[in-house]
Amino acid sequence: LAKTTQPISMDSYEGQEVNITCSHNNIATNDYITWYQQFPSQGPRFIIQGYKTKVTNEVASLFIPADRKSSTLSLPRVSLSDTAVYYCLVGEGAGNTDKLIFGTGTRLQVFP
């Protein structure tokens, strides 16, 4: 089972870069790493996905080392609206049936 471990919470200030690390020691060869953002009383929102090395999009970067046992979500210059829970997900399942299991997530609080 590819469980994930993240810090429970993080604090930051507006304009700073935030790095959230996720540990996934048992990641399978074919698994991708996906990060979601969730605001209160809303469904999680896809942020970024990667398999190895580095992926960047308009909102975040994802760094994955060669052994793929961890990954780091990087949010550049956060704002108050980035206050949310961030989940790191790695797929698991038997055969072709996939089920994404959410870990505890990291609650990010951004202060002015």
Partner 1 sequence: DTEVTQTPKHLVMGMTNKKSLKCEQHMGHRAMYWYKQKAKKPPELMFVYSYEKLSINESVPSRFSPECPNSSLLNLHLHALQPEDSALYLCASSQDTHRASRGYTFGSGTRLTVV
Which positions lie near partner 1, rule CB under 8 A? 28, 30-32, 34, 36, 41-46, 49, 87, 89, 91, 93, 96-105
Of the candidates 100, 60, 66, the one whose C-alpha atom is nearest the C-alpha of residue 84 is: 60
Question: Is the CB of 34 or the CB of 71 nearer to partner 1?
Answer: 34
Give me the least distance between CB of 15 and partner 1, in Å please: 28
Our CB check for partner 1 shows the closer of 49 and 83 to be 49
Residue with tokens 């990060």: 35
Is the CB of 14 or the CB of 100 nearer to partner 1? 100
List of residues 6+ apart from 106 with CB closer than 8 A: 6, 7, 8, 9, 10, 20, 85, 86, 87
